[in-house]
Structures are given as C-alpha cells and as structure tokens.
Amino acid sequence: MRARWTQGAARGLASLADSALFLPLLIFALILLVNAIVQPGLFQPRIVRSNTASFAPLILVAAGQAVIVLSGSLDLSVGAGMSLINCILSAIMTDSVGSSALALPAGLAAALLMGLVNGVAVAYLRLPSLIATFATSAIWFGAALLLRPQPGGFVTPWISTFYYLFLGPVALPLLLLLAALGGWALVRRRRLGRYIYAVGSNEEAAYDSGVNAPRVKVGAYLLGWGFVFLAAFAVTAQMSSGDAYMGNPFTLNSIAAVVVGGISLAGGKGTVLGAMLGGATLSMVINIIYYANVPSVYQEFVKGSIIIVALALTIVYRRRVPRLAGTGP
C-alpha cells in the first residue's frame, strides 16, 4: 500500500513538473521567500494591499502580452500604448465624475483601436510583428506626447480613492487581477482561446484544419489590449496624472514577465496565469532591490540580466522536459 502511495505521489509530482506552471511557480516562490526576508511584514494586510496595488499594472500588461505571444506574435508597443491611454484619460478627466464616464470608454476604445491596428498589420498585412509593433510604438508615443508634452493633467480624484478602497485584504487592484484572470478563463473555454493556442503552435496546420488564422490573431491582439487598458487604468489611478514617458519600462518588463512566466516566445505554449505570476515575480524583484538597499542604479542591470537568465533557463528546461513527459505506447 505504501508503494502505491509513493507511486501516486511520484506521478503527481511528475505531472506538476510537466505542467507549464512549474517553473514560474518555483521562481515565484523563491522570490517571495527572498522578499519576505528583506521586507519584514510582507504578509500584513496593509502591505499586501499596497503591494498588490503597485504590482497590478505590470501583472495586467503581462497578461495582455501573454495573450498576444501565445498566438504567435509579439507586441513592443504596449508600453507606449499605456502612456497614450494614460494621457487620454488625464486629458479628458476633469473634476466632475461625469468626465470619467466619458474618459474611461474613450481610453478603452483607444486601446482596442491600437490592438486592431497592430493586429491587422501583423495578421493581414503580414508585417513581421517585432518591427511592426516597434514602429507603432513610436506612433503611440508621439500621440501621447502630443496630448501631454509635459507630465501633468488631471485625474478625477474618485478614481484614485476608488482604487485604494478595501475590505480586509481585498482591494480594487486585486479585483482587477481577478477580473482579468476570469476573463481569460472564460475565453479559454471558448473556441477563440483554443484557436489562439493552435495558431501560435502551428499557424499553417491550424489554417489547414479550417481555423481562420488571421481573424484569431486579431482577436488575440484585441483581447490583449483589453488587459493593457486595465493596466493603464491602474497606473493612472496610482499616478493621478498623465505622463507620456510612464509606459516605457512596461514593454520590456512585460516581455520579461512573459518569459519568466513560462510562455514560449514562439507561441502556443504556456499560460496567462504563468505570465501574471511572472509579473508578480518581477515586481517583487524590484521590491527586493529597494528593501535590500541595493542602490537603484542596479535596477536596470538586474532586470536585463533576469530576462537573459530566464530565457536561457526556459530553453534548457524545455530541452529536458520531453524526457519527463509521458511514455510511448
């Protein structure tokens, strides 16, 4: 009987090791541990809330990038897009609550439009996604600069208040994250979700099977930018102003989060949850740098190194995994 138990446990562990979440979970746990050491009181409700609030933007934009990468593309314009949405929000919002009723839909519309442009360029015009989104990022950035040449502008106070409302440990940021996760869980159970993975895995085969690959890719971009909008909203609520430069670090960070989260840059493999974990991990790394009194000058260097290490790790890990995966007939 003991033998069966250990056999079952071994199989359970093996399947966990196989699962796409293993590595991101492991890394997350490790970083959490380190963070807990350098930042005592990490698990107090107040700290949890404030951390969640500041981590939320990166986690959300990582989710957006994840959806796009899963479909086989990449989007280097998410950071500039966030800046643009932020500037639009701060431009439209005034003191009245009514203005936010105008601003938020406008921001969402802008996000979806950006996603549409990128999606059409990549899926229908067949431009290489890396360079095409590089180009569109300049366009979004320029537009953001037009709206907000200098940081400033106005964000209706109720938004920030709203953002920081809480009940116990649960605050709006957490709800945003759950909403994103829930939204993706919904899509995953529909054809679009399945087809995003199919197209990312092998577009040709998916097309031969009758899947409208270009339409799926555009769908992935639109969905991804929905998450980007949420991220921009979160940042705006925190910053209470508009700044055309604020989005810049998010592009590279979202890619780092996606990679750390176990998503293959070639598409078709990985989970959005993993990317969100990756975003959390990366945010905690920044936390660690701060609390361990590592001079902020090291931040850039560390982030770049982490991406490289994570990339290399995923490649190495993936070369080993086939041996762990199931047996033949």
Residue numbers of the site for other proteins (CB under 8 A)? 72, 74, 121, 125-128, 130-132, 134-139, 141-146, 149, 189-191, 194, 197-198, 200-211, 213, 252, 255-256, 259, 265-266, 268-269, 295, 297-305, 307-308, 311-312, 315, 322, 325-326, 328-329
Distance, CA of 275 to CA of 272 (rounded, Å): 5
Structure tokens at 157: 């106070």
Pick 147 or 228: Cβ nearer other proteins = 147
Q: Which is nearer to other proteins, 162 or 298 (CB)?
A: 298
CA–CA separation, 170 and 90 (whole Å): 26
Residue 34 Cβ vs other proteins, minimum distance, rounded to whole Å: 20
| Shortest separation between residue 95's beta carbon and other proteins, angstroms | 27
Question: Residue 168 or 326: which CB sits closer to other proteins?
Answer: 326
Nearer to other proteins (CB atom), residue 102 or residue 325? 325
CA 213/CA 193 separation, integer angstroms:
12
Quote the least distance from Cβ 256 to other proteins, whole Å. Answer: 8
Q: Six-digit token pair at 162? A: 């709203």
CA dihedral 217, 141, 110, 230 (to 10 degrees): 80
- Check if the beta carbon of residue 307 is closer than 8 Å to that of residue 57: no
CB nearer to other proteins: pick between 58 and 213 = 213
What is the smallest separation between the CB atom of 252 and other proteins, expressed in angstroms? 6
Structure tokens at 184: 């993706």
Considering the complex, what minimum distance in angstroms separates the CB of residue 127 from other proteins? 5
| Nearest residue to 313 via CA among 248, 262, 243 | 262
Look up residue 299 and give its amino acid: Q
